Structure 1
């Protein structure tokens, strides 16, 4: 095929010459267009961070998800506030106060729901206990009632210690008292204070006879008003939560810790970590690309010309995106990375071809005409093939990728025009007649000659590697877990993972909607039989069984609690009070010592010894302290031991006011989350293990779907979205490959050379897939967009080589020494530093995309410059014969 006299050759040759002649006007127009583009983009380009909009609404799982979100909108786009405290009383109180404070902020929130912090549950909570557990609590309260009553009359350290001493003496007399939880609780409280990490004693756990845990948790479900026109839609609401927490006294160094997670916080954290990585990558890329371009061009002027062409093309592509689509999403924003990778390729090929022609001795104007014609023909073919490849993504159900295809495909056309209009104009002022030889020309060619000298070994190596790759390809996998893409150090991610680690309370659970109570009961029974299900919650579970029997036990409890009257003592700094406290503590220590010696085999001896050891440690601290320090320490211990008593007694008093109720009498704040206004019921199906693992996630979702195909919820959406993305890419790549093949057949008019263009592309794709297995970097929602870029770069590189080989039937030995080979090498190197810098991102999805692009592009470069010349030698030899 002779390209030197073709229409395409003449069109680009004249375009380059005209631009060179009218350079001042071209540059002025380019400057004005660039300024206008910046203004237009800044005023009109939006950002949509709502990832749910990126998949077709007609997909079955999206239909189910949309229906659920419309039926129970309060469960969509939420913030999950997690409060951890040393005692259940503190956690409950903090959640209560914070929820009340947030309900006043109607500007930032539409709904505030603390699931466990509600007057209804506080009053009727005992009805949810089993009958046996209620009897156990009643028995404990009956035994401890005299002690509790005495402490409540005068809740001070002196009284508490004296009562505890009396209880130990009663033990010595043979009375059976369950004091082990008290001994351990008081001991742990004293040890915490002496260690400088104060922790209050929980009276609520003492009433129940339970050991006090290290931490208690309450959650608040918050429905914010996200602003999707802002880069971080939930930022203002999250700031409002922290401000409210500060107002009620929650601080970072306090005993009660607030953490925020939920889909809104996770989305903001993901975008923030992704952008911070992009900024870091941008700085590195700018420096390294400049260095690579300098070595490619051997002059700062030509490197600057490439950067200017790249900048204008990027601005024009962004302006097109603004006009055609109006907004970017978290996928289509990657067009900038795509453009840098491919746009630089256009300018490098043109400028290096111009320099090669200029070095042959032609006049500047003649060199410009010839370089424009020769480079234009090849670049036009690459542009057409690339554009078809990107536009093939438009029909997919993954609208995020479809928009990326529209923008990137048009960006290739824009890049071609910018290269041949702005490029020649810049060369008029930035070109140098004499350019020093880098020496790379020879060294690169000599290195590439090895594959030609050992071409049989090259063929065998390709065949062997291909067999290995085919064997490993079935292990290529897709990671459906969206959390695995995010920065593991992010607070929202860490909190969410902690919640996932407890499957019974996992925020990731399946949701099934039913029409009525009967269907709810039937599905619940069938779902409960699944081995991967730990528990099922429906609205029916909020109506306790055996209410009459339980109310009898509660009435008995009321008789026990009735005489307990809590009085708050006046604060005292009397020196005599300190002396009394010390004497009471000493008496308790002595009583414990006697009990341990008299009953060494008792079941309480170990806990009594533990408390005695803590008291002795306290005495050591007090012995070396002055009076003021003693007073402060004893006051702190008083607070630690008795501060939760009022709240515990108040909640206990409220709980004995329980009355029988039915489903219709459940509060609206609760019933509205489990039964819609249309009468649909919500079933929450919790997994029996952490479904952060992809295999566990798949098994859980598929088992639930077998019984309830209409199931939705985050696990279902995550799995189905991943499979939809994979299917969309398979569909798009099939269309792209078909479209590119047809385009190549038309452009090259040869089946043989079309196959030669496609071979490096297919080989690099297969090898890249294998490397995801070897490097343990599965495909995910982020790095899968590397595939269209590798497709574009693969087509570009191999098409340039094949096109140049057709120019005067150049053989491979000559081809590898041309500007085309050098342009492919430096274009790939420019893209490599662009992509490799992404690996430094804290966002795991972005980092994995950088790793995949780096590996994929390296393999593309090897396939194009090492394998393709060896394959091109075969048709060249046939041509000679």
Structure 2
């Protein structure tokens, strides 16, 4: 029995027992749906998408095992309007979050400050250069009268009193006037801002140091390791929500001069999943509407559409159950099996339905039309399903676990789609009983195109060869963007914060980690790494032991000798009465106005204080607001200064345990951080940086290595899979078609469309990414199927391909798939939009190759 006869009999059996077939399908779908809903899982850990036995993955895992507290972090980036605000906000947030530690089901595993805490408060000045420390010491000694007066009376009265004394000193020539310009300007600005309703408290750190704070002085970090739940779409959502709630309760917001952003691996991944789900909403609705309209245009019957949709849903449930049973937890690539299934399975349904319509037009008998459709289109569908499945299954033996699992599931789904379109679909059509077909199904208007392509097949083929050659020349220029950060929405907080950190050499996440057997060996290795021209700096635990301590401690001892008694807190004095404040304020304004050393600074402060005077009696809260704005940061700065004056000699054993644990493992291995000299976000820079470091430390790991190696793994996996898939398809086609010419006819349009897709992507500057690389297997499945339908029809005697029902089925199948996936280009998520654009372009190239080149090749072959 021939394949056509077998499939005709299969369709006939299913239509004669339509109710039973539909009932079995319904019961099976319901049962498998319940099983899938109760057991399917999504593994959102992107690290699991790569084979764990890859050398770079093993190095990555070794680092995580040695320093588990550095993996899966939330980085709280805290920017303050002043250094004082940034430090205070970071300390309060870290303290509040640390109170949530210790509970078995708490949201956090650890909370730490890499740039703060008692150790750095006491010894922070030792990390400055000798010249920087000497300058700060000199300015602090110059400020001793101011400090002493404010320690004795830390109120507005005390502040105005000491300012008045300073002005007297300037008048007598004892103090240089220019020394007080910056403090007076700063105080004036604070008063102006507070009276204007702007929160901008005075920075006593800046005032006492006399230096303009740099970006790093206005920024602090808190590192939080959350308890992750990989069974949900956003594993770190609970921890993130707790951090934000805590920050709100602490008034860490722009209204209070603090800007908090969460970034790091966990927020980036969570925001990505949220953006994906939100960004595809409009695209999904639009896709559904367009698909329905195109199906209606292709089939002209809601009964046919309903039958196809029900068949698709049944097939999807069966495939999802298979995925659940074999893979278990789907990853972010293998979850795309649904898109691939719908994209290709709908083609099978359209092909069968259009062929049924053609036969129904010839003989107005539903049962006979279904039998004939099974006999005529069944072999083509079987070959298309077999070649597509073979192509997908070729993806399974790769190191990219995401694609390997996708290949397994998608390969099985092709068998499901074929089986259901030849069994369930005919049964549903019998039950729904669509009406007969009054007119021809093909495109009669395409007769002229058939004749034109046949008459000019030579030039058409020549043009296709020229286009292919040009695209082949462009193909080597196709880029692969290995950095997934570029697929994310820059408007998301976690992404913008990460770009901000990456733009600063001292906070870039694009740094390499190296594990050394011991700290001594780490130091030796660090010296060799630091000599590399590609490296800016190298950090080990030893970097937290300050250099030149003797000289620096001597400076601090001198400072403590002079300043120590001044910092001793005075006994609590009674609050100064309002008249004292008004009297001191009036005296200060008078001194500012009447002095002989007038300057823009004194004039500005006088105007600001006069405005405050005018509002003191009218607005009772003004005094408290001014005191908060001018003096709230003073106690913390005085405490920091007292702590800094107690600094002592630091050795490795003095370092805090949490700091040591992030650099020195329990087994003695030491971690080395290597920073790039140039911006490692540039792929060329990153490649050179990694090559240089690996020449010294072959086991180097970290974000740059992960980006480079994961990109190479993906490209290698797809390259090997593409060659394997093509080989499997060629062998299967050769076995079935038995003619080299016919195999070439099937593959030629696929080759042209692939080259056109690559060439246009290069011309438009579209790189291949982790998201849009999925175009390859989808294009393979659809492209091979389209060519097979035309070639088998041609072998059966069809010499008017564009007028045939197959052309109608192919066109609307491609348009339906294009609508389903091309609408993703409207997504706000850059990765999803890129995938939609490339898929739409690939399908357009496939249509051109199949509907223009293939008819010309068939006409030439017939001659």
Category of TM-score, reference length = shorter chain: over 0.9
Show the counterpart of 2:788.
799
Task: Work out which of the residue numbers 711, 731, 741 in structure 1 matches 2:720.
Answer: 731
| 1:383-402 correspondence runs (5 A) | 383-402=385-404
Q: CA deviation at 1:453?
A: 4.6
Correspondence 1:465-614 to 2 at 5 A = 465-564=467-566, 565-566=568-569, 575-577=578-580, 579-580=582-583, 582-590=585-593, 594-596=596-598, 608-610=599-601, 612-613=603-604
Counterpart of 1:664 in structure 2 is 653
Return closer, same or farther for 1:127/1:372 CA change in 2, 3 Å cut-off. Answer: same
Q: In 2, Cα distance between the equivalents of 1:289 and 1:497?
A: 38
What is the deviation of 1:172?
Answer: 4.2
Superposed CA offset, 1:568-606 (max 9, x none): 988979552553354145135316x6314xxxxxxxxxx
Which shifted more, 36-45 or 578-587? 578-587
Write the mapping of 1:204-223 to structure 2, written as runs, cut at 5 A.
204-212=205-213, 216-223=218-225
2:73 is aligned with 1:78: yes
Alignment match, 2:115: 116
Could you tell me which runs of 5 or more consecutive residues in structure 1 were left unpaired when the two chains were aligned.
1-5, 597-607
Aligned residue for 2:348, secondary structure, equals: helix
* Alpha-carbon distance, 1:462 to partner: 1.3
Describe the SS at the equivalent of 2:673: strand
Give the unaligned 5+ runs of structure 2.
none
- Local SS of the residue matching 2:714: helix
User: Retained in 2: the 8 A contact 1:185–1:211?
Assistant: no
Q: CA deviation at 1:787?
A: 0.9
Q: Which residue of 1 aligns with 2:62?
A: 67
Aligned equivalents of 1:433 and 1:223: distance in 2? 64
- Is residue 58 from structure 1 mapped to residue 53 from structure 2 by the alignment? yes
Task: Between 206-215 and 60-69, report the one with greater CA deviation.
Answer: 206-215
Q: Aligned equivalents of 2:578 and 2:732: distance in 1?
A: 97
- 1:614 and 1:376 map into 2 onto residues whose CA distance is 90
Equivalent residue, structure 2, for 1:137? 136
Show the 5 A alignment for 1:413-452: 413-435=415-437, 437=439, 441-443=443-445, 446=448, 450-452=452-454
What CA distance in whole angstroms lies between the structure 1 residues aligned with 2:11 and 2:584? Answer: 97
Q: Which residue of 2 aligns with 1:308?
A: 310
Distance across 1 between alignment mates of 2:572 and 2:205: 21
**Map of 2:88 onto structure 1:** 93
After superposition, the Cα gap between the structure-2 partners of 1:692 and 1:184, relative to the gap in structure 1 and judged at 3 Å, is farther
Equivalent-residue separation in structure 2 for 1:815 and 1:148 (angstroms) = 93
Verify the 8 A CA contact 1:111 1:222 in the aligned structure 2.
yes
In structure 1, what is the equivalent of residue 155 of structure 2? 156
CA contact (8 A) 1:51 1:330 kept: yes
Deviations 1:55-83 (A, max 9, x none): 11222211111111111111111111111
> d(CA) in 2 for partners of 1:380 and 1:718?
41
- Deviation of 1:432 (Å): 2.8
Corresponding position: 1:810 with 2:805: no
Q: Give the match for residue 604 of structure 1.
A: none
State whether residues 391 and 780 of structure 2, in contact with CA within 8 Å, keep that contact through their aligned partners in structure 1.
yes
* Alignment correspondent of 2:272: 270
Distance change in 2, residues 1:147/1:55 (3 Å)? same
- Evaluate the alpha carbon distance shift between residue 375 and residue 158 of structure 1 in structure 2; reply closer, same or farther with a 3 A threshold: same
User: How far did 1:147 drift?
Assistant: 1.9
Provide the residue aligned with 2:250 in structure 1.
Answer: 248
Tell me which of 847, 856, 860 is aligned to 1:874.
860
Deviation at 1:45, TM superposition (A): 0.2
What is the Cα deviation at residue 189 of structure 1?
A: 2.1
Q: Tell me if the contact between 2:593 and 2:606 (Cα under 8 Å) persists in the aligned partners.
A: no
Cross-structure match for 2:810: 824
Inter-partner Cα distance in structure 2 for 1:758 and 1:210: 71
Matches within 5 A, 1:709-724: 709-724=698-713
Structure 1 residue 275: Cα displacement: 2.0
Alignment of 1:843 with 2:832, yes or no, is no
Kindly indicate whether residue 105 of structure 2 is the aligned counterpart of residue 102 of structure 1: no
Q: For 1:627, which of 617, 625, 630 is the aligned residue?
A: 617
Once the two structures are superposed, residues 365-396 of structure 1 have per-residue CA deviations (whole angstroms, 9 ceiling, x without a partner) of 22111101111100000011000000000000
- Distance in 2, matches of 1:595 and 1:159, equals 22
Q: CA deviation at 1:861?
A: 0.9
Structure 1 residues 502-542: Cα deviation after superposition (integer angstroms, max 9, x where no partner): 12211221111112234322322222233332222111111
Q: Do the aligned partners of residues 148 and 621 (structure 1) sit closer, same or farther apart at CA in structure 2, a change above 3 Å counting?
A: closer
Number of equivalenced pairs: 855
User: Which stretch shows the higher mean deviation, 581-590 or 740-749?
Assistant: 581-590
CA contact (8 A) 1:274 1:843 kept: yes
Structure 2 Cα separation of the partners of residues 439 and 361 of structure 1? 13
Give the aligned partner of residue 290 of structure 2: 288
Distance 1:103 1:450, change over 3 A: farther
- After superposing the two structures, state which structure 1 stretch, 152-161 or 169-178, moved more: 169-178
Give the secondary-structure state (helix, strand or coil) at the position aligned to 2:701.
coil
Distance 1:569 1:196, change over 3 A: farther
Instruction: List per-residue Cα deviations over 1:276-312 (Å, max 9, x = no partner).
Output: 2233322221111111100000111111122111111
More displaced stretch, 357-366 vs 579-588: 579-588
- Cα deviation per residue 1:703-742 (whole Å; 9 max; x = unaligned)? 3223222111111101110011101110111110111110
Check the 8 A contact 1:273/1:841 in 2, yes or no.
no
> CA 1:38–1:588 in 2, change beyond 3 Å: closer, same or farther?
farther
Query: Is 1:691–2:690 an aligned residue pair?
Result: no
When structure 1 is superposed on structure 2, of 335-344 and 462-471 the one drifting more is: 462-471
Q: CA deviation at 1:241?
A: 1.4
* Deviation at residue 28 of structure 1 after TM alignment: 1.5
1:609-653 deviation digits (Å, cap 9, x = unpaired):
145235425635765x58333x43343232211111100001110
Aligned 8 A contact 1:561 1:653 in 2: no
Alignment deviations for residues 97-140 of structure 1 (CA, whole Å, 9 cap, x no partner): 22122222231111111112211121122222222222222222
Q: Is the 8 A contact 2:474 2:759 kept in 1?
A: yes
Conservation of the 8 A alpha-carbon contact between 2:358 and 2:441 = no
C-alpha contact 1:469 1:770 (8 A) present in aligned 2: yes
Distance in 1 between residues matched to 2:688 and 2:202, nearest whole Å: 43
C-alpha change, 1:703 and 1:213, in structure 2 (3 Å) is: closer
The match for 2:200 is: 199
